[in-house]
Structure 1
Amino acid sequence: MYYFIINPHASNGKGLKIWAKVQKYLNKTANAQSYEVFMTEKSGDARRFSRKLTENSTDHKIITVIGGEGTLNEVVDGSCLDQDNISIAYLPTRLDDGLARCFRRKLHFKDQLRNLFHEHEDRVLDYGVLSASGVSRRFVASSGIGFDAAVFQDLYGEKCECVRRKKKIHIGRMTYLKTFLKELQKAKKTRGYIDMDDEVRHEFNNILFISAHVHPYEGGYKLGPNADGADGYLDLCIVSTKYKWRVLWIM
């Protein structure tokens, strides 16, 4: 049995288009009747669907996510992974998807489907956990605090508003750059410290942002160049500088 969690609005409706291709392929195979589909309508749906599918499950299940990294994050966060009986596959809606780029595999779409349904090979990958105010969330690629997070909050907040108004929006490089500069102008530095695994404390006086990386990419930029999603380590990128405009050269 195959299970699909689909964000139909991902990448301006591309999620739905990809699902149409997958469904057409499925209907030509022996798996024509052995799948179930869950369509998201709002933030949190993918998390709720994955929890429903995996909670108290004893059978092996393959959950395929069609959407962006946000949808994948929700599925991983909501899944019960305490037993080794859940496999999660990912069909990204964007060609420049950061997580997909980490695997360095450029397969034709039909080859991807063939791998998924006929000769799939499982890989064990890491995920991170962010805890704050008594709440914990898993993340599959990266998590940012400070200026870094403000940029993405601004970008995706604007995107959600446009989706509600049924307008199309493409977050391209120019849109990202404009938001980056706007948030950088407003950004405030702060003092803080990091406690590492070896119990050594590192203190910083002018923290602009901290990002934690399971995989190298974030927003198209390779902020964690040595991050490896299967090495058991979390890579940190810490930007602390008196002159915040230096971040333009750092990035």
Structure 2
Amino acid sequence: MKKVVFIANPVSGNGKAKKAAELSASILKDNAFEVSIKFTEYAGHATTLVQQLSSKADIIVAVGGDGTVNEVATGLVGSKTVLGIIPNGSGNGLARHLKIPMSTKKAAECLIHGKLQPLDAPTINDKFFFCTAGVGFDAHISHVFAKMEGRGLKNYIKAILKEYGSYASQDYTISLDDSSSVNQKAFVLTVGNAAQYGNEAVIAPNARIGDGTLELTALPQPNLIRGAIWGIRLFMKNIDKDSSVNTFRGKEIKINNTAQSVDGHRDGEPDTWEYPLLFQVKQENQITVIANSTLV
């Protein structure tokens, strides 16, 4: 009998994550899994719980958004225990990349019938991320969004519209796998392990979660028309086809700037880093995740 532990923040979404964990656990119990639920008590607690429980469980399931997934997955690095996801956040970028249904019941069924996939565990200045991370306007928005009342796509768009006109591109130096560097003026620099931010907004269309490489997408300062086109392309999953957009690939991506530090985003959560920024992926950190069986 496989042992499954669900980890959720009991107050997230006014208790939605708690209810999702309880429903999912009930479904797996009815399918002959041994299940238990652990609730987090503070930021970072999920990682601690996973490190304590991973040797005693076959699957540990993150119930929540990309932030919760990040904490749980971080705790699994170096372990053979499998990561499962019940999406219950505002963007659910990694879950959507894995084609996991947004319905709790169907996501739970995916834990039973899904397929195992390798999942790289890249770092940005030694901090793990599993979906996307970066600097620029999207990072600025993640910091603004974190201070707003309420989550969801509506508030995210509201933050974009409010901040769009006042944010200016920055000058960066980019080097890939210790190769020669290039100068890049960019409005957005996003590194993708997975393809999307969340809500099906695909910023790194060619990113693959287990191929040992990262995809960097660089967007220049847009005018209103270009910005609108990018918005359409994000949801059409072809922003890399825009002639104004540059993409880079590598196992190690270094980004520098004349500033000392920068506000960034890591799996949808705001973070702050010191320059230079080192994004890298190492084979030994790779973990295993349950994806929808329909994932190609």
Cα distance in 2 for partners of 1:105, 1:115 equals 7
- Are 2:118 and 1:124 aligned? yes
TM-fit CA distance, 1:138: 1.0
TM-score with structure 2 setting the length: 0.67
Residue identity in the other structure for 1:13: G
Identity value in percent: 26
Are the counterparts in 2 of residues 190 and 208 from structure 1 also a CA contact under 8 Å?
A: yes
SS at match of 1:19: helix
Cα distance in 2 for partners of 1:248, 1:120 equals 37
Per-residue deviation, residues 48-93 of structure 1 (Å, max 9, x unmatched): 2223334xx4x663111111111001112233x234x221111111
Structure 2 residues without counterparts, runs of 5 or longer: 232-296
Per-residue deviation, residues 182-232 of structure 1 (Å, max 9, x unmatched): 22233232211110126031112x322211111111143211122222222
TM-score with structure 1 setting the length: 0.77
TM-fit CA distance, 1:27: 4.8
- Are 2:230 and 1:240 aligned? no
Are the counterparts in 2 of residues 3 and 63 from structure 1 also a CA contact under 8 Å?
A: yes
SS at match of 1:179: helix
- Are 2:78 and 1:82 aligned? yes
TM-fit CA distance, 1:244: 6.0
1:20-99 paired onto structure 2 within 5 Å: 20-31=22-33, 34-54=34-54, 57=55, 61-79=58-76, 81-83=77-79, 85-94=80-89, 97-99=92-94
Per-residue deviation, residues 117-169 of structure 1 (Å, max 9, x unmatched): 5x5532112232110xxxx211111012121111112112324xxxxxxxxx3
Aligned to 2:289: none
Cα distance in 2 for partners of 1:148, 1:108 equals 27
Cα distance in 2 for partners of 1:145, 1:25 equals 40
Q: 1:207 to 1:97 in 2, by over 3 A?
A: same
Cα distance in 1 for partners of 2:114, 2:157 equals 38
* Aligned counterpart for 1:217 among listed residues 179, 192, 196: 196
1:194-205 paired onto structure 2 within 5 Å: 194-197=174-177, 199-204=179-184
Cα distance in 2 for partners of 1:35, 1:96 equals 27
Aligned to 2:258: none
Cα distance in 1 for partners of 2:50, 2:70 equals 11
Cα distance in 1 for partners of 2:207, 2:114 equals 25
1:99-248 paired onto structure 2 within 5 Å: 99-104=94-99, 106=101, 110=105, 112-117=107-112, 121-131=115-125, 136-159=126-149, 169-173=150-154, 175-197=155-177, 199-204=179-184, 206-220=185-199, 221-241=201-221, 245=224, 246-248=226-228
Are the counterparts in 2 of residues 50 and 75 from structure 1 also a CA contact under 8 Å?
A: yes
Structure 1 residues without counterparts, runs of 5 or longer: 160-168
Q: 1:144 to 1:13 in 2, by over 3 A?
A: farther
SS at match of 1:122: strand
1:2-17 paired onto structure 2 within 5 Å: 2-17=4-19
Aligned to 1:164: none
Which has more strand, going by share of residues?
2
Cα distance in 2 for partners of 1:229, 1:41 equals 30
SS at match of 1:76: helix
SS at match of 2:61: strand
Residue identity in the other structure for 2:204: G
Aligned to 1:165: none
Residue identity in the other structure for 1:122: L
SS at match of 1:211: strand
Cα distance in 2 for partners of 1:105, 1:71 equals 16
